[in-house]
Amino acid sequence: MNNCQYFSLKYEVKGVKLYSMNRLSKEKRAKIIKLIVEGVSVRSISRLEDVHIATVLKLLLDAGEACKKFHDTTVRNVKIEHSVECDELWSFVHCKDAAIEKDELIAPPEVHGSVWTWTSICSTSKLMLSCYISKERSEEAAITLFKDVKKRIVTQDSRPVTIYCDRLPAYTTAGQKVFKNTARVIQERKGRDRANNTSYVERSNLTVRMCNRRYTRKTNAHSKLMRNHRAAMHVFQTFYNFCRLHTTLQISPAMAAKVVNTLYDETFIINLVDQDMKVWKHGPAKGTTYKKRA
């Protein structure tokens, strides 16, 4: 095994992250990100790229934080021509709820067990507007999702935006509390009329399960920690919006929504990681003088 530690030393001085020089090349890190968003598990990446598992997870956490910041600042004022679709996606962290009920020592229920990923997309551009991960499939989680959607969209001619979702009662009350008279919440699952239901967001959720290994059913590739679960979803959301060519649109969803005008690649995510990093070099600072030995 090669010396592959992503960052061997980490310091933080006055809120600025400082790292040592012992890290993988940009090309190697970009390839690891590409494998992550194409449905390859962490252990498989470790074997394929001859790197340590901790190296892959460290890069995943850094990329997740960078992608979250980028999405929050970039995906704003998205024009909604037709509607927004919302849905929730089930997964679990560490173990399922049944295992927690049998043995309380395995994992506390507030940290592990069932996890719900709330997603929303623009039905026209297929842009994934918001992604919120919660422990409960509750009204509070639906309100958090709607609040995030509200600050990212604008409608033409100030018309009420139409939001399609499933028949979960939490959507109705959450829509009334967040949007009031500025949106219409219609609870209609997919059917014959694909344009006026949740068919697009449900197909988007299928893409998540196929490309994000942690959401694949009946495997042992599920997340063991919540922070890794959130980071993987943030990385996939950015890759899906900005770096992935949509088959139907033939451009990225971000380009279709006119958020950007360029199709990015996985190296773009590595550049996001490196933007707020400063490299710490061994040795004295420039201009330092020392007394000569006697």
Give which of 127, 92, 88 is closest to 224, Cα–Cα: 92
Q: Are 107 and 113 within 8 A, CB to CB?
A: yes
Q: Can you say how many angstroms the Cα of residue 210 is from the centroid of all Cα atoms in its chain?
A: 15
The answer to whether residue 12 scores a pLDDT higher than 60 is: no
Answer CATH for 76-227 from 1.10.3470, 2.60.40, 3.30.420, 3.40.50: 3.30.420
pLDDT tens digits, one per residue of 202-242: 999 999 999 999 999 888 888 989 999 999 999 999 999 99
Give every CB contact of residue 287 below 8 A, 6+ residues apart in sequence: none
| pTM as predicted | 0.84
Residue 286 is predicted with a pLDDT of: 67
Name the residue ranges covered by the structural domains of the chain: 1-74+264-294, 76-227
Give every CB contact of residue 168 below 8 A, 6+ residues apart in sequence: 88, 137, 142, 187
* Sheet strand arrangement including 10-13: 10-13, 16-19, 278-279
Which one has a higher pLDDT value, 14 or 90?
Answer: 90
For a pLDDT cut of 90, what percent of the chain falls above it? 61
| Angle made by CA atoms 70, 76, 77, in degrees to the nearest 5 | 165
Strand 183-187 to 153-155 pairing: unpaired
